[in-house]
Amino acid sequence: MLGTTNDSSDKTPARPIRVSVVEDDHVVREQLVHQLGQAPGITCVSSHYSAEAALEEIPHYKPDVVLMDINLPKMSGIDCVRRLKGEIPATQFIMLTVYEDADVIFKSLLAGAVGYLLKGRTGSAAQVLEAVRDARRGGSPLNSLIARKIVQHFHYQPVRPGAEQALSARQQEVLELLSKGLPYKEIADMLGVNIETVRKHCHNIYEKLQVNTRTEAVVKFLGK
């Protein structure tokens, strides 16, 4: 009986990833809610039709990930992310957009988002779910176009003298892997450490570079 009890505890599932959706298009919003609701290990805790509703309600749910439409009726999704990030900093934001506009997506990243999904592809449940899981693991899906935009932006931004030099060799290694969009788990496996060690490295990197997000840290790294 003891063996049965132990086996049972070993199979206790991890806490589901909590997701909120902010999308003014009713059909798209319901489609996303349905896809999330059917996925193992993911639960949709709330859905919202506007940035104003999201600002009022989402902080109470404290989701792990938010799928945020960029083009909302009044306040934009970018401004909504900027304000929500200050209230729920641990939450990861993925932007939903119709067009792959590098400038708009880049502004979203600077506001605190970690990646984006093209709305034309939200019909693929697999892509939506993988993006959610990737963001929760610490991933940051960026294509080469957006990466170039980050570099171009950095060329016009002054770096605090000695900031990067203050990083240890291991911290620079972690930052390089972060810049490739790898999730914490994959970075931990590559470096032969546990995921909490990677998180601590990231915390120290952010402090030394005086940034608050992966995107800001990568901006400084790519522009070195």
> Is residue 5 scored above 80 in pLDDT?
no
Q: Pairing mode, if any, of strands 65-69 and 42-48?
A: unpaired
**How far is it, in rounded angstroms, from Cα 140 to Cα 159?**
23
pLDDT digits (tens, 9 = 90+) for 81-120: 999 988 898 899 998 888 777 778 778 888 888 888 887 6
Q: Is the separation of the CB atoms in 16 and 43 below 8 Å?
A: yes
pLDDT digits (tens, 9 = 90+) for 16-54: 999 999 999 999 899 999 989 888 899 999 999 999 999
Per-residue model confidence (pLDDT) at position 153: 55
pLDDT digits (tens, 9 = 90+) for 152-168: 555 444 444 455 557 88
pLDDT band at 123 (very low <50, low <70, confident <90, very high): very low
Per-domain boundaries in the chain: 14-136, 156-222
What length does the chain have?
224
**How far is it, in rounded angstroms, from Cα 185 to Cα 174?**
12
Query: Model-level pTM?
Result: 0.67
Report CA 28 to chain centroid distance, whole Å. Answer: 20
For the structural domain made of 156-222, what CATH number should be given?
1.10.10.10
Name the CATH superfamily for 14-136: Response regulator (3.40.50.2300)
